[in-house]
């Protein structure tokens, strides 16, 4: 009984403490509480959300045997006795207006390859859109509408970093083409990087229902600010399973700034180059380095021209923060640096030999050094028709090869129906020609001037794999 009495006393004290510090979360108590709605928020944002309709012309082989199971096993999709015909493909997506003069943000994959783009507002107005910028790396695109001077409804971007896991958000778009649709949910996670959706792999995860057609639409915070652009879902059957992903607004802002300042290239936005190969920090690595927590980006390799190297970082250092923002892994380091304007400096904190340090790092464009010396090859040899150049960071970024410290000669273009078209393709790195090691354009020209007695020997690297060809 004494034990029970003591427990009751403790419980009563705990309840009294709980009453002394009331929790701010309550169930609806009044009629007004029960009538709370997202309607005012939707009324504010929805007019700026648009439906995007695209069309493109594709060439296909049309054959009466294409769907025949017997002939299909021999001719596949090529058909037999078929003719090449042009067909028009239509697709749809969503977007959001972020400026009154008609600047629209959407996903790059929504308008990829489109011959015609039409944008329809919620009030029924239709506008022809012109592609202002397509950024493959971030899967973002900017459209400009021909408004003839009319001002359009628009919304503003809000830093996604102000979100917390558990915050309520809404998604607006045109799923399955049924018309503008609003769904709500919470922020399930920040900085998701275990995906392979774009070059940065850094996303807001939400359980607001997102379906095909929502791509390019906004993810909206409770104050009406756009914190992300809905871009992908995890699904087994094409429908929403409560796992959706949005590109953070910081990346959207960097794309808008690049378009306004003319900082774009062949593949989209020209972003800062780090010249680094990095990996996440595991528990074992953290213990071996004397770190308290397994977080940060471990530098595995640095390009000789890397701005990180210029600032004093070395292989084996762990980058822990960029511009005051903690870094969880290599993907987040890449994302944070990608949003820094070229020419500006940012602070980088790193861990080395048991203590933290901080340096200033300049955001630089990918160096076009050594000079690429693009050369179109011609003559009686197997590489006739290929355009090759010296490999440098700028070329590597343009061809989507990443920031690895690669050297040598790379194939830039290949003419159709040429001798080279049967052997190589853009992005292949020449290693040897007739047993001669290839380091620069001069080596290529010397090797091609001296054909072998027994034919041609060609060694090249494609996608990290070495291939060898003997041509007689």
- Catalytic-residue membership of 215: yes
Strand partners, 97: 104
- Backbone φ and ψ for 258, nearest 5 degrees, come out as -65, -40
d(C-alpha 389, C-alpha 439), whole Å: 11
d(C-alpha 90, C-alpha 260), whole Å: 30
Angle at 266 (CA atoms; ends 260, 271), nearest 5 degrees: 60
Q: Which is the catalytic residue, given 91, 94, 138, 215?
A: 215
CB 179 within 8 A of CB 214: no
Q: Which is the catalytic residue, given 91, 109, 207, 329?
A: 109
CB 129 within 8 A of CB 197: no
CA atoms within 13 A on the CB side of 174: 21
Closest of 205, 211, 114 to residue 165, by C-alpha: 205
Q: Which is the catalytic residue, given 135, 139, 199, 317?
A: 139
Length of the chain: 472
* Residue 166 Cα distances to 186, 204, 206, 302, angstroms: 5, 12, 9, 38
Q: What share of the chain is helix, strand, coil (3-state, %, to 5)?
A: 20, 35, 40
d(C-alpha 286, C-alpha 460), whole Å: 38
Q: Please enumerate in sequence order all residues whose Cβ is within 8 A of that of 355, keeping only pairs 6 or more positions apart, or say none.
A: none
H helices of 386-466, in order, are: 393-398, 441-448
Q: Is 375 exposed, middle or buried (0-12, 13-18, 19+ CB in 10 A)?
A: middle
Write the DSSP symbol of residue 161: G
d(C-alpha 117, C-alpha 133), whole Å: 14
Going along 80-160, which residue ranges are E strands?
83-99, 103-107, 116-120, 126-135, 140-145
Give catalytic residue positions: 109, 139, 215
């Amino acid at each position: 009984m004494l034990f029970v009495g003591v427990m009751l006393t403790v419980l009563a004290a705990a309840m009294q403490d709980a009453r002394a510090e009331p929790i701010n979360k309550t169930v609806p108590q009044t009629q007004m509480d029960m009538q709370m709605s997202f309607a005012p928020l939707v009324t504010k944002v929805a007019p700026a959300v648009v439906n995007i309709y695209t069309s493109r012309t594709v060439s296909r082989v049309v054959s009466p045997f294409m769907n025949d199971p017997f002939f299909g096993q021999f001719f596949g999709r090529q058909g037999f006795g078929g003719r090449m015909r042009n067909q028009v493909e239509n697709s749809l997506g969503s977007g959001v207006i972020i400026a009154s003069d008609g600047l629209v943000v959407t996903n790059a994959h929504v308008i990829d390859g489109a011959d015609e783009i039409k944008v329809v507002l919620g009030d029924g107005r239709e506008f022809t859109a012109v592609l202002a910028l397509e950024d493959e790396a971030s899967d973002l695109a900017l459209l400009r509408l021909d408004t003839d001077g009319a001002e359009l409804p628009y919304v503003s971007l809000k830093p996604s970093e102000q979100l917390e896991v558990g915050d309520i958000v809404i998604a607006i778009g045109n799923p399955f083409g049924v018309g503008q649709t609003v769904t709500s949910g919470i922020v399930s996670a920040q900085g998701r990087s275990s995906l392979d959706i774009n070059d940065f792999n850094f996303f807001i995860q939400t359980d607001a229902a997102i379906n095909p057609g929502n791509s390019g639409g906004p993810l909206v915070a409770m104050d009406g600010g756009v914190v992300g652009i809905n871009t992908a879902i995890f699904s087994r059957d094409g429908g929403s399973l409560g796992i959706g992903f949005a590109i953070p607004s910081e990346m959207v802002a960097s794309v808008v700034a690049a378009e306004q300042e003319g900082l774009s290239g062949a593949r989209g936005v020209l972003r800062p180059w780090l010249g680094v190969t990095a990996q996440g920090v595991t528990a074992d690595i953290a213990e071996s380095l004397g770190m308290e927590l397994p977080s940060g980006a471990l530098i595995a390799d640095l390009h000789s021209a890397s701005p990180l190297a210029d600032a004093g970082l070395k292989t084996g250092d762990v980058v822990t923060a960029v511009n005051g923002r903690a870094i969880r892994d290599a993907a987040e380091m890449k994302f944070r640096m990608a949003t820094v304007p070229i020419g500006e400096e940012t602070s980088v904190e790193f861990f080395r030999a048991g203590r933290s340090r901080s340096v200033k790092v300049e955001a630089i464009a990918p160096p076009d050094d050594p000079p690429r010396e693009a050369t179109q090859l011609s003559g009686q040899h197997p590489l006739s028709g290929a355009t090759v150049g010296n490999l440098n960071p700028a070329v590597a970024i343009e061809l989507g090869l990443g920031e690895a410290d690669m050297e040598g000669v790379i194939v830039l273009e290949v003419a159709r129906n040429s001798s080279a078209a049967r052997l190589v393709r853009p992005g292949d790195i020449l290693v040897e020609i007739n047993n001669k090691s290839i380091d620069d354009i001069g080596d290529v020209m010397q090797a091609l001037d001296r054909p072998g007695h027994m034919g041609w020997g060609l060694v090249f690297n494609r996608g990290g794999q070495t291939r060898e060809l003997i041509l007689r």
